[in-house]
Amino acid sequence: MKHYLQRVMNRESLTEAEMLEVSRTFFTNSVTDSELAAFITALKLKGESVDEIVGLVKAVREQTLKFSHVAGCIDNCGTGGDGSHSFNISSTSAFVLAGAGIPVAKHGNRSVSSKTGSADVLEHLGIHLNVTPEQNEQQLKEIGITFLFAQHVQPKMGRIMKVRRELGIPTIFNLIGPLTNPIELETQVLGIYRRDFTELFAESLKRLGRKRAVVLNGAGGMDEASLQGDNELVILEDGNIRKINLHPEEVNLSVYSNEAIRGGDAKENADILLNVLKGEKGAYKDTVLLNAGIGIYAAGKADNIEGGIELARNSIESGAALSKLEQLVANSSLYEKAGI
């Protein structure tokens, strides 16, 4: 550790193999909390490279619960950390994606930077969080959507979470959460609160084996696509990476400020999610249409984002998206009754 720490402090980037080696020590007693804190702080000051991101992600994924391969899965988890206090956009959009026929392995956690994390709102809706990998896989195959609770599927991250809380500053661990989904994904939509990192993370997704992906930063610095103005999208497709800007008016959606999509506690955000899936018009629904539309496009179900938005609209208005939520809640109820 001391050797690698000194190199990073000298602003020297590590190779993927070196980062994998040092990251594995984070899960052992050979490294102190102080050394871990110093290393990730030095890494932040230097600036993280693709090799370092990929190496760390591979080390974290080695510590997760093991899952079988499920073909065609997508995740639409964002990094959080944008300070927008928005409702749970990606969680709501996940049911719309599932309603459009795309298997969703939704990775998420409790609140870190917002009032309500995805786990908080889904638990309030009656979705059981601590299920086994076999039950996650069963939900994926039979319902088309499952929730992978980060604290449950990555049980060895507790010490790192402790160090992160004590540091109190954003580090590489605030960014890599969406990359550590334990299911082998073919497609991903990743929202990130730093626009200067969109291309870096698209390259990281390519190195991690994604076939198609969209990394986006929304207007106002959101980690979701926003109706407020221009969104930056970096698209990975066929091994190529390209960047576009997308304004909501270009896809026939109205402009709303980010203040119009603020959320609240778990109950309030659960109500918003339900109202969107029931078709209530307004900024919340249009924001979900935009984000789900990008996801449907990323999954290859539509030739363009505008076509993805129309499929998202149909998923909501046909009742398919709401049905996916109801099926997942009913399935969770069976686990609760069985004492699982």
For the annotated binding site for Mg(2+), the residues are 90, 223-224
199 and 190 in contact (C-beta within 8 Å)?
no
- In the annotated binding site, the residues are 78, 81-82, 86, 88-91, 106-114, 118, 164, 223-224
Rounded Cα–Cα distance for residues 21 and 43 (Å): 15
Q: What is the per-residue burial (b if ≥16 Cβ within 10 Å, else e) of 12-37?
A: ebbebebbbebbbbbbeeebeeebbb
Rounded Cα–Cα distance for residues 178 and 128 (Å): 21
258 and 228 in contact (C-beta within 8 Å)?
yes
Radius of gyration for the alpha carbons in the chain, expressed in angstroms and rounded: 19
Rounded Cα–Cα distance for residues 31 and 39 (Å): 10
Rounded Cα–Cα distance for residues 296 and 96 (Å): 9
- In the annotated binding site for anthranilate, the residues are 78, 109, 164
Task: List all residues 6 or more positions away from 165 whose beta carbon is below 8 Å from its beta carbon.
Answer: none
- In the annotated binding site for 5-phospho-alpha-D-ribose 1-diphosphate, the residues are 78, 81-82, 86, 88-91, 106-114, 118
